[in-house]
């Protein structure tokens, strides 16, 4: 008996009788017993990298008016919040993560009037706004730093971490972006070293100084008064430091989070921030990074502790960070482990990409023309069917792919450029280095949004700051909008499904078929509503036996036209993603 004959084929026609994927689900939050329901748990965040979203003035850099032009598009995605990377005044050493004025808009992005109009446009459409707060460090062009470095007795001296050279060299600290890897930069002006965990143009602010903390709270209030709905706290796990800067064990830089994260007074500062800012407005805050243990992560977001509301961990992003790709086991274990740690208390974020990593489909799916669409849809199904607030990175709703630069001259990112110099000086194998960079560099995820098939994908009339991926004539928003089977239209169905089904937000997660080599299977259960999610992570057909399949009531979403299902078994097609409702 052939496979096709053995399995019942649920075709599109059959689905009409059986319950089809476009059927509006019926549950509502009020009909189920949800403890601690919160709007920010129920939301879907769309992340916009403003440099790369849409340019309206021809300078090759995206701007706020570009976002304003696309507000209806953003609304059409079914997302409920926008997180935008920094758009404050900045010398742009690290694309805005080096802020020189926290209350001013970077001129290439527009004006404060543009910001106000954009925020209103989002709010008018029922979409919240999440501000990126970059306060582990500022730019070295910030007035605070200019003052601070001017002399040892300047009132701003203690806004940053200085180590006077008369005390000798400070103990080694590793810098993530420095070309020598050294986080202490000597400044002859006052014969002292200052600390920079990132680039030397990004000096670390001294959070142990109460005046610095008050400055930050005032900045957050300034934006909260304007109406922002959330804060994403950049590199926040690093802010509190032991200012004696003790000697760290050799090789500590291989586990920076352990040695830099969750400094001595971090929780105290967060409670202060909560009292001063977060509790005063209907806002939430999410920290980038959660320390290195579940306890750390819990303590940050435990509602009873009044610190943060959400956090995101890096372990999901660490999967697949090598030339050898990753295994489904690693992937599934990370998400299962983190879900179970937060099953009773606390809340996490779910994401597969952002501006610091490669494109989702290139890293976790398959970006070949044959499988790009199916695997993008499958990965979006994952993000939008897990517990935790989902973050969807701009362009992933289209299935945009890595650009795969080959030569170091093509890169714009300081992490890539300085990392290359460091690797060279250490005598590393530069071919391997470039190959790794090509797969994993941050610029892969920063190429301009592909709006249409015209020049530069309709992103700009000028020369884009980073080249547009050549595949834009095939992968673009205009084309996908018209195609009912596109990645984009599947994404819209999937956000609708999540928005209308509290089980996908609050439901318990249970892993099934724990060791299946290619299929990630789980249920989400809330009260008497249960959904079964099946994701084929491979480019071949995958068979799976599951008792739950006997109780399938209807298909709620499917990235293929059909499902090959038997009594208690199913054959999934390459990168197929199906969600069933279970009786």
Between 198 and 331, name the residue whose CB sits nearer to ligand NOJ: 198
Nearest distance, CB of residue 415 and ligand NOJ, angstroms: 7
Contact between 234 and ligand NOJ per CB under 6 A? yes
Residue closest to ligand NOJ (Cβ)? 97
Between 50 and 121, name the residue whose CB sits nearer to ligand NOJ: 50
Between 86 and 388, name the residue whose CB sits nearer to ligand NOJ: 86
Q: How many residues bind ligand NOJ (CB under 6 A)?
A: 9
Query: Which of 94, 108, 288, 581 is labelled catalytic?
Result: 288
Positions in 276-335 near ligand NOJ (CB under 6 A):
288
Question: Of these, 216, 235, 311, 386, which contacts ligand NOJ (CB under 6 A)?
Answer: 235
Between 397 and 413, name the residue whose CB sits nearer to ligand NOJ: 413
Longest dimension (CA), the chain: 86
Active site residue 255: no
Question: Of these, 49, 88, 97, 102, which contacts ligand NOJ (CB under 6 A)?
Answer: 97
The region that residue 320 occupies, defined by phi over 0 for left and psi between -120 and 50 for alpha, beta otherwise, is left
3-class secondary structure per residue, 485-540: CCHHHHHHHHHHHHHHCHHHHHCEEEEECCCCCCEEEEEEEECCEEEEEEEECCCC
* H/E stretch holding 270: helix 266-276
Contact between 94 and ligand NOJ per CB under 6 A? yes
3-class secondary structure per residue, 196-258: CCCCCCCCEECCCCHHHHHHHHHHHHHHHHHCCCEEEECCHHHCCCCCCCCCCCCCHHHHHHH
Query: Which of 234, 299, 339, 443 is labelled catalytic?
Result: 234
Nearest distance, CB of residue 204 and ligand NOJ, angstroms: 11
Nearest distance, CB of residue 201 and ligand NOJ, angstroms: 11
Question: Of these, 61, 64, 82, 134, which contacts ligand NOJ (CB under 6 A)?
Answer: 134
Q: What does the alpha-carbon distance between residue 168 and residue 456 come to, in Å, rounded to a whole number?
A: 53
- Is residue 571 within 8 Å of 564, Cβ to Cβ? yes
Burial class (CB in 10 A: 0-12, 13-18, 19+), 429: exposed
- Is residue 59 within 8 Å of 456, Cβ to Cβ? no
Contact between 356 and ligand NOJ per CB under 6 A? yes
Contact between 351 and ligand NOJ per CB under 6 A? no
Nearest distance, CB of residue 47 and ligand NOJ, angstroms: 10
Nearest distance, CB of residue 455 and ligand NOJ, angstroms: 29
Active site residue 550: no
- Is residue 227 within 8 Å of 119, Cβ to Cβ? yes
- For the CA atoms of 317, 321, 327, 331, the dihedral, rounded to the nearest 10 degrees, stands at -10
Binding site for ligand NOJ (CB under 6 A): 94, 97, 134, 198, 234-235, 288, 355-356
Catalytic residues: 234, 288
């Amino acid at each position: 008996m052939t496979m096709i004959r053995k399995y019942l084929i649920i075709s599109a026609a059959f689905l009409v009788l059986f319950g089809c994927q476009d059927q509006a689900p019926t549950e509502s939050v009020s009909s189920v017993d949800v403890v601690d329901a919160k709007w920010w748990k129920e939301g879907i965040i769309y992340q916009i990298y403003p440099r790369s979203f849409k340019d309206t003035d021809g300078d090759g850099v995206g701007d706020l008016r570009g976002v304003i032009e696309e507000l209806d598009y953003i609304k059409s995605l079914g997302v409920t919040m926008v997180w935008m990377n920094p758009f404050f005044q900045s010398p742009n050493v690290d694309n805005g993560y080096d802020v020189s004025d926290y209350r001013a808009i970077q001129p290439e992005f527009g004006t404060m009037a543009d910001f106000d109009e954009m925020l209103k446009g989002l709010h008018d459409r029922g979409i919240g706004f999440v501000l990126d707060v970059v306060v582990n460090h500022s730019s070295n062009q910030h007035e605070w730093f200019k003052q601070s470095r001017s002399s040892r007795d300047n009132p701003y001296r203690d806004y940053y971490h200085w180590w006077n050279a008369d005390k000798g060299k400070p103990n080694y600290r590793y810098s993530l972006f420095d070309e020598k890897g050294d986080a202490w930069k000597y400044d002859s002006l006052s014969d002292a070293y200052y600390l920079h965990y990132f680039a030397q143009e990004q000096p670390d602010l001294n959070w142990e100084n109460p005046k610095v903390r008050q400055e930050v709270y005032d900045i957050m209030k300034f934006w909260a008064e304007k109406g922002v709905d959330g804060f994403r706290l950049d590199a926040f796990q690093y802010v509190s430091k032991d200012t004696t800067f003790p000697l760290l064990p050799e090789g500590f830089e291989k586990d920076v989070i352990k040695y830099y994260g969750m400094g001595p007074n971090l929780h105290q500062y967060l409670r202060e921030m909560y009292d001063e800012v977060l509790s005063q407005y209907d806002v939430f805050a999410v920290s980038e990074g959660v320390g290195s243990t579940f306890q750390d992560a819990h303590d940050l977001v435990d509602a009873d502790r009044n610190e943060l509301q959400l956090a995101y961990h890096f372990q999901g992003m660490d999967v697949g960070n090598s030339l050898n790709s990753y295994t489904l086991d690693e992937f599934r274990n990370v998400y299962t482990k983190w879900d179970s740690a937060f099953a009773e208390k606390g809340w996490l974020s779910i994401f597969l990409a952002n501006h610091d990593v490669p494109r989702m489909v290139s890293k976790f799916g398959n970006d070949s023309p044959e499988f790009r669409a199916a695997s993008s849809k499958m990965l979006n199904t994952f993000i939008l069917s897990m517990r935790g607030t989902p973050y969807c990175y701009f362009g992933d709703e289209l299935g945009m792919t890595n650009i795969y630069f080959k030569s170091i001259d093509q890169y714009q990112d300081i992490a890539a450029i300085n990392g290359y110099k460091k690797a060279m000086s250490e005598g590393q194998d530069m071919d391997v280095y470039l190959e790794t960079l090509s797969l994993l560099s941050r610029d892969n995820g920063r190429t301009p949004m592909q709006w249409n098939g015209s020049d530069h994908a309709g992103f700009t009339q000028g020369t884009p700051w980073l080249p547009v991926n050549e595949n834009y004539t095939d992968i673009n928003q205009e084309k996908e909008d018209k195609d009912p089977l596109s990645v984009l239209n599947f994404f819209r169905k999937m956000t609708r499904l999540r928005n209308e089904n509290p089980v996908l937000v609050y439901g318990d997660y249970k892993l099934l078929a724990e060791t299946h080599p290619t299929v990630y299977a789980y249920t989400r259960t809330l009260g008497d509503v249960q959904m079964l999610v099946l994701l084929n992570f491979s480019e071949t057909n995958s068979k799976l036996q599951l008792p739950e399949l006997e109780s399938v009531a209807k298909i709620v979403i499917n990235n293929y036209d059909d499902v090959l299902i038997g009594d208690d078994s199913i054959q999934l097609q390459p990168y197929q993603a199906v969600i069933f409702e279970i009786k």
